[in-house]
Amino acid sequence: MSWLHMLVPSASQLAQMPAQLLIGLINGSFYAMLSLGLAVIFGLLNIVNFSHGAQYMMGAFVAYTLLNVLGVGYWPSLLLVPILVGIVGMLIERIFLRWIYRLDPLYGLLLTFGLTLIIEGLFRQGFNSSGVPYGMPPEFRGGINLGFIFLPYYRAWVIVASIIVCLGVWFLIERTRLGAYLRAATENPALVQAFGINVPRLITLTYGFGVALAAFAGVMAAPMQNVSPLMGSNIIIVVFAVVVIGGMGSILGSIVSGFLLGLVEGLTKVFYPEAASTAIFAIMAIVLLLKPAGLFGKAR
């Protein structure tokens, strides 16, 4: 009968609602940042980047290494790590991905899956699976009491930062000249090439940029979570479901569905925590029944 309390929320559950929604929004910001990166890469390369989770994990580990080996703190890491991991991403694109563009896109999924195994295996070898500590940056210790929740300063920062990043990327792609080239190259690479734009370089940069977004999310997660080689694989499958629900066609769609599903998941955790891990997949099944192309998707 445990599902009954879904229908009849208790007073304490209702009292917790605002706090839980806020928490959901924070988790949703990670889904949003990660599915955004996937959408950017998919848009131009037509590849579902399976190694996105591994690159997110790399972000957290590079931040850890910078802090503990070179003494580079959280703030510089926030900029440095995405650049470093983004460069690794560009190398991956140049060495591996560029050979498979003319093949069925499924090979891209397989290739990036293989790369995920390599990256995760190497990090497990180097750091072990149990994880390493990344302390909370001192300026973020503590929090603010909002009445309905004690909101750690860091979580507040996560929401703000992710919204800025998401909107920034949206603006970059939908409202700037560079974004226009990108969108054009997605539609008709040959034509854009004819206009004198170096499409292969554009592709490399785009992949690097998508990977950098994942790494940025990784740095953001490091102070909150156990930094372990498995942190990427735990989240990437959920993000895939988010992407199926939202459809990868639009940048805004992937951002909105990321936040939305964070909220839904947050509610599940209060009313029916047993389903917290399966709720998103169940929603995916329902969306597939009602609107197979996804909430914001174009059929392609």
Partner 1 sequence: MKQLPFLIMLAALLVAPFVVYPLFLANALCLALFACAFNLLAGYSGLLSFGHSAFLGTAGYITAYTTKSWGYPPELAILLGVAASSLLGALFGFLAIRRQGLYFAMVTLALAQMVYFVCLQAPFTGGENGIQPVPRGHLFGVIDLSPNMTMYYFALGIFLIGYGIIYRTIHSPYGRVLKAISENEPRAVSLGYRVDQYKLLAFVLSAGLSGLAGSTKVLVYQLGSLADVSFGTSGEVLLMVLIGGLGTVMGPVIGAFIVATMVNYLAQYGSWVTVIQGVIFVVCVLIFRRGVAGEAMALARRWRLRAGAVAKP
Partner 2 sequence: MKIKALMATAVGIGLAVAFAPNGVFAQSNDGPVKIGVLSDMSGLYADLGGPGSVEAAKMAIEDIGGKVLGKPVEIVTGDHQNKPDVGANITRQWFDVDKVDAITDVPNSGVALAVNEVGREKNKIMLFSGPAASDLTGEKCSPTTAHWTYDTYALANGTGAAVVKSGGNTWFFLTADYAFGAALERDTTNVVKANGGTVVGSVRTPLNAPDFSSFLLQAQASKAKIIGLANAGGDTINSIKQASEFGITSSGQKLAGLLVFITDVNSIGLQTAQGLQLTEAFYWDQTDETRAFSKKFLERVKHQPSMVQAGVYSAVRHYLKAVEAVGSKDSAKVMAKMRETPINDFMTKNGKLREDGRVVRDMYLFEVKAPKDSKAPWDYYKQIQTIPGEQAFRPMDQGGCPLVKKG
- Chain residues binding partner 2 by CB under 8 A are 12, 15-16, 19-20, 23-24, 26-27, 30, 124-125, 128-133, 135-136, 142-143, 149-150, 152, 154-155, 221, 223-226, 228, 230-231, 234-235, 266, 269-270, 273-274, 276-277
CB-wise, 34 or 192, nearer to partner 2?
34
CA distance 258 to 25: 9
Residue 241 as a binder of partner 1 (CB under 8 A): the answer is yes
**Least Å distance between CB 47 and partner 2?**
25
CA distance 208 to 98: 13
The option from partner 1, partner 2, none interacting with 231 (CB < 5 to 8 A, set by class) reads: partner 2
Instruction: Tell which residue, 54, 61, 59, has the closest CA to residue 78.
Output: 59
Residue 233 as a binder of partner 1 (CB under 8 A): the answer is yes
CA distance 38 to 254: 9
Instruction: Tell which residue, 215, 272, 261, has the closest CA to residue 239.
Output: 261
Residue 158 as a binder of partner 1 (CB under 8 A): the answer is no
Binding window for partner 1 (CB under 8 A); candidates: 17-25, 80-88, 117-125, 142-150: 117-125
CA distance 51 to 96: 13
CB-wise, 185 or 261, nearer to partner 2?
261
CA distance 141 to 224: 12
Determine how β-strand 150-152 pairs with β-strand 143-145: antiparallel
To the nearest 10 degrees (0 to 180), the angle between helices 251-271 and 153-175 is: 150
Binding window for partner 1 (CB under 8 A); candidates: 118-126, 173-181, 187-195, 216-224: 118-126
CB-wise, 42 or 259, nearer to partner 2?
259
**Least Å distance between CB 266 and partner 2?**
6
